[in-house]
A and B are shown apart, each in its own frame.
Chain A
Amino acid sequence: MAAVKLLGFWASPFVNRVQIALNLKSISYELIEENLRAKSQLLLESNPVHKKVPVLIHGDKPISESLVIVEYIDEAWSDGPSILPSDPFARATARFWAAYITDKWWPLLTEYRTAEGEEAKAAAKEKFFEGLVLLEEAFVKSSQGKGYFGGENIGYLDVVLGSLLAWLRVREVTQNVTFLDKTKAPELAAWADRFTLNPAVVNVLPKTQKLVDFINSFTKAS
């Protein structure tokens, strides 16, 4: 069985995505913690295009981009529990929301943080919550009354969205806004707690205080 290495960084939610996927499949791997201010030769060679983490190295083959890696893990370890659903339409729905979360919704948080002035901030916040409501609807449809997007068990969309929870919670603290608003998204709020405590997740997502300290160390340094 070829060795598995993960080039990562503890605070990166995209690395966390891969870690959770590896845990779901019970895959043993070596985690190589990168210093993002002094990237290793291995990282630069394994991901020359983006020079970013996560990079999964399976044997001698590097794979980059968190969503690509998660699909790879699902397909390369096909005898473990499935991460994506098996039905093509359900897969398409999961991939659609994964792209929406990653490309459209998650960047709204940064848009909110960096928006200047009351109006801009309010507009960004509104867009964020509109998206949250869409995701709540998607959760209800996808979970079909069960605990996860994937149904009884964690699936692809749980991993994609759930990996962002640590940073979402940190931003709630630093921005003093309840982003995962129970009144707007009650099912998602309950799912978030459930997801965080899942065995495949519990030791992966960084704790809020550690991330707060991390952010503070940046702002002090600059």
Chain B
Amino acid sequence: MADEVKLLRTWSSPFALRIVWALKLKGVEFETIFEDLAKKSSLLIENNPVHKKVPVLLHNGRSVCESFVILEYIDETWTNGHPLFSKDPYEKAEARFWAKFGDDKLWLSVRGILFGNEAEQEDAKAQAREHLKYLEEQLEGKKYFGGEAIGYLDLAVGWMANLLSVLDEITGHVLIEELKFPLLWKWMQVFSDAPVIKESWPSRDKLVVKFRAMRDLYLAGKN
């Protein structure tokens, strides 16, 4: 029986993009269903009643929610394709640890720059740089976080490779300077150029417009 795979996503969600990348790396055919988060479909609400968020993976009618959970599910289900994890439990644990770090710490500090006033931005930038130092260390001796090939952690923090330049354009703040973070700098180029990744990036211009509008709205709401 052929697998029926659908992905509920938005055009811009970096969390949903992780799943696009994973499915493509595995060579899994899937149907994309774009959601309007201002008018959520009954399909989304029925399949993710707890969070009502994207991404949601529908595999033969059953739903899997939360991007990290979905990534693990994809790796465990399509075992013949490109592996997302090392077989070594310790390397797996490290990948999971840093992925969580990326979402809990780094993403928050990047949002702080995006949505902050000048003082908040300086604080957030200092924090983001501390966080990036850790990720820089993880790339020692490696082409990707996953080693020779793209892995779970690359997908988890891959949003950096396009959103940081969007952040730069909107706020003027550059986080990954080649001299300060040479490995991350290189990784961003190499990761972005990988075919599956390159063909999936959302429109940069649209992202700039969207995040600029969000920033303006957020700052207006604070004053």
A95 at the interface (CB under 8 A from B): yes
User: Residue on B with the closest CB to A138?
Assistant: B50
Residue B101 interfacial (CB < 8 Å):
yes
Give Cα distance in the complex from A61 to B69, angstroms: 25
Most buried by B among A72, A88, A91: A88
The closest CB in chain B to the CB of A59 belongs to B90
Interface residues on A, range: 20 to 34
**B89 / chain A contacts, CB cutoff of 8 Å:** 72, 75-76
Residue in contact with B65 in the complex, picked from A64, A72, A88, A96, CB distance below 8 Å: A96
Given the complex, which residues of B lie within 8 Å of A1, measured CB to CB? none
Nearest A residue to B94, CB-CB:
A63
Which residue of A is nearest B96, CB measured?
A68
- Provide the residues of chain B in CB contact with A99, threshold 8 Å: 66, 68-69
Confirm or deny: A218 has a beta carbon within 8 angstroms of a beta carbon on chain B: no
Give the distance in Å from the alpha carbon of A71 to the alpha carbon of B77 in the complex. Answer: 18
Known contacts A92-B70, A95-B69, A96-B69; A61 and B64 CB within 8 A of each other = no
Given contacts A49-B101, A100-B50, contact A71 B93 (CB under 8 A): yes
Given contacts A49-B101, A68-B100, contact A92 B73 (CB under 8 A): yes
Question: By the criterion CB–CB under 8 Å, are B97 and A65 in contact?
Answer: yes
**Closest beta carbon of chain A to B19's beta carbon, Å:** 13
Task: Pick the most buried of B59, B73, B89, B105: most chain A CB atoms within 10 A of its CB.
Answer: B89
B193 an interface residue at 8 Å Cβ cutoff? Answer: no
A-side contacts of B66, CB under 8 Å: 95-96, 99
Contact with B along A55-77 (1 / 0, CB 8 A): 00010010111001101100110
**Residues in A whose Cβ lies below 8 Å from that of B96:** 65, 68, 71
Task: Report if A134 contacts B (CB, 8 A).
Answer: yes
Residues of A contacting B59 with CB < 8 Å? 89
Q: Are A92 and B72 in contact (CB under 8 A)?
A: yes
Contact with A along B53-94 (1 / 0, CB 8 A): 000000100101110111011001100000000000110110
Complexed CA–CA distance, A100 and B212 (Å): 31
Q: How far is the CA of A89 from the CA of B62 in the complex (A)?
A: 9
Not counting A63-B93, A99-B69, a sample of 5 additional A-B residue pairs whose C-beta atoms are within 8 angstroms of each other reads: A88-B73, A89-B62, A91-B73, A96-B65, A96-B69
List chain A positions with a Cβ less than 8 A from chain B. 49, 58, 61, 63-65, 68-69, 71-72, 75-76, 88-89, 91-92, 95-96, 99-100, 134
